[in-house]
A and B are shown apart, each in its own frame.
Chain A
Amino acid sequence: MMNITCPFCGKRNESEFIHGGPVGAVRPDPNAVSDEEWVEYLTVTPNPLGPVQEKWWHARGCGEWFSIWRDTRTHDIVEAPDGTT
């Protein structure tokens, strides 16, 4: 069970949150990209053996949506690789 830090409520139990999926690429302008790039945007998500950025919803709490970095090997919540968030 993870302790997830909600930006509004602070550290709370994982059971209060709902997983919102991985943070994918920024949506490109469909008219500006090729079909291959568009399909890649729709279907391919990062699947690293290590830190992954993902969305969480504090559904049984304040209702805030936010993103965290989590290590897929250990489930430890980690710093963003580039120091942001």
Chain B
Amino acid sequence: MCIVINIITIMQNYSVFSLARNALTGHRNWPQVWRSPPLKDRYDVVVIGAGGHGLATAYYLAKEFGITNVAVLERGWLGGGNIARNTVTIRSNYMRDESIPFYVKSVAMYEGLTDELNFNMMHSKRTMVDVVQTWPKLRELRRRQLVMDIYGSTYEQITTEELRRRIPALTGGGPDARLPVICGMVHTDAGVNRHDAVAWGYARAADARGVEIHQQTAVQSLLRGADGSIEGVETNRGTVRAKKVVVAVSGHTTTLTETAGLKLPLRTMNLTAFVSEPVKPLVDVIVNCPDSGFYFSQSDKGEMVIGGAPDMGQSFRRDIKQHVFEDTVTAMLSLFPSFKKLKLMRQWGGHLDIAHDASPIMDQTEMPGLFVTAGWWGGYKAIPAGGLTLAHLVAKGEPHPLMAPFTLGRFRHLDFVMEAGTTTAR
């Protein structure tokens, strides 16, 4: 039996040899990347949401803790939620003692993820450069630098001349501008990768360890047992029972928990991005302009991937609002006037929930057996560490040290982790 499994594993392993072998047969014999098994009515753990955090949690439950009787239930298609609706920025330049070690761990895990999952993440550790245009922002970033130094993250100030040498397209923000460029801050740990590969890689690796992924399976409500603990979920394909349920659904967290009468300190908002037509290589770093309110990087295809500030009201829409789009473009053209000729191709928005203090929540709720991972802003960068630490909590019943600060209990004690490093906190 063991030998059979090993042979299957070897056959599914992606390598130059498997590529050559399949090339000889016209690429017609690649195995399915994951199975589509029938839905059972009972599992040890049900994970709601086949996005980054849900799939990573399922993978680490199987790999690190040997819990393989796991179902990941997805309303739409695998990797079609916020993991397909972000700007793939991976960084650890946060502000708080509680946050930085978590993100340092996550960035390190991302760097080894291609080997870990045997799936090419196209990881590009390309550095993030902040364009600083106000003195209060510089003061804040230098304070962040001092805290980051303690935890092994990197931040370094560079002069305007050095900044313009590294980013030749940055021609705006001169001495006469409303917001002249003061200096740059360089975060060499930052990078980008391929979001689909993260979803597919985790899905494939979790599936290979026995986790079942069920797409087109919408969870409609949570089932509370007679003793008050979670009993399972009601889906469009029937009732699925489990003693442990993980909610990893981003903006819809409260929509689901309210079906069990559970209130959480979360609001759902809309964060958007858009993409230009592909052009020749122009910018080889991630450029972040916190004072102007936009950031971008150039994808391997040559497109500029551009993000701006969030729309402030609550929103479950998945497109960009006209004035958010106009504000972002105006800010971008003030620093990069040559981008005026760029044609824009696509726009998208994701709905994310934000907690009262802009930090994530990873905890067991007051309903025993029900776990939530929510409140993620820039949750893409947190997927590996978020999955690992949540799996630890689900398997062992006690929080992983890296996630211990991000409990629901912090609200009870008004012991907030006020985070200034998230996109919205500026």
Contacts and interface: CB of A to CB of B under 8 A. Distances in A.
Among the interface residues B264, B266, B316, which one has the most CB atoms of the partner chain A within 10 A?
B316
Interface stretch (B307-315, B336-344, B392-400): B307-315
B133 interface: no
Interface of A: 1, 14-15, 19, 22, 35-36, 39-40, 42-45, 47, 49, 52, 54, 70, 72-75
A59 B219 CA distance: 42
A36 B408 CA distance: 12
B93 interface: no
Interface string B262-306: 011111100000000000000000000000000000000000000
A36 B356 CA distance: 16
Interface residues of B, number: 23
Contacts of B356: 42-43
A49 B266 CA distance: 13
Contacts of A45: 265, 267
A55 to B, nearest CB: 10
B312 A75 contact: no
Given A1-B322, A72-B268, A40 B263 contact: yes
Interface in B251-269: 252, 254-255, 263-268
Cβ-closest 7 pairs across A and B = A43-B265, A19-B312, A43-B356, A47-B254, A1-B322, A72-B316, A43-B411
B287 to A, nearest CB: 26
A47 B414 contact: no
B323 interface: yes
B322 A49 contact: no
11 contacts: A1-B321, A19-B312, A36-B412, A39-B414, A42-B356, A43-B411, A45-B265, A47-B267, A52-B314, A72-B268, A75-B317
Nearest to B311: A19
The DSSP consensus for interface residues of chain B is mixed
Contact of B411 (A1, A39, A49, A70): A39
A14 B323 contact: yes
A61 to B, nearest CB: 16
B90 to A, nearest CB: 28
B314 A47 contact: yes
Contact of A22 (B252, B267, B316, B321): B267
A15 B263 CA distance: 33
Interface of B: 252, 254-255, 263-268, 312-317, 321-323, 353, 356, 411-412, 414
Nearest to B356: A43
Given A1-B321, A39-B411, A42-B414, A49 B267 contact: no
A15 B311 CA distance: 12
Nearest to B264: A44
A54 B414 contact: no
A47 B254 CA distance: 7
Contact of B323 (A1, A42, A54, A70): A1
B255 A54 contact: no
Given A47-B254, A72-B316, 20 more contacts: A1-B321, A14-B323, A19-B312, A19-B313, A22-B267, A36-B412, A42-B414, A43-B265, A43-B356, A47-B266, A47-B267, A47-B353, A49-B316, A54-B313, A72-B268, A72-B313, A72-B315, A73-B316, A73-B317, A75-B317
A70 B315 CA distance: 9
B267 to A, nearest CB: 5
Given A14-B323, A39-B412, A39-B414, A74 B263 contact: no
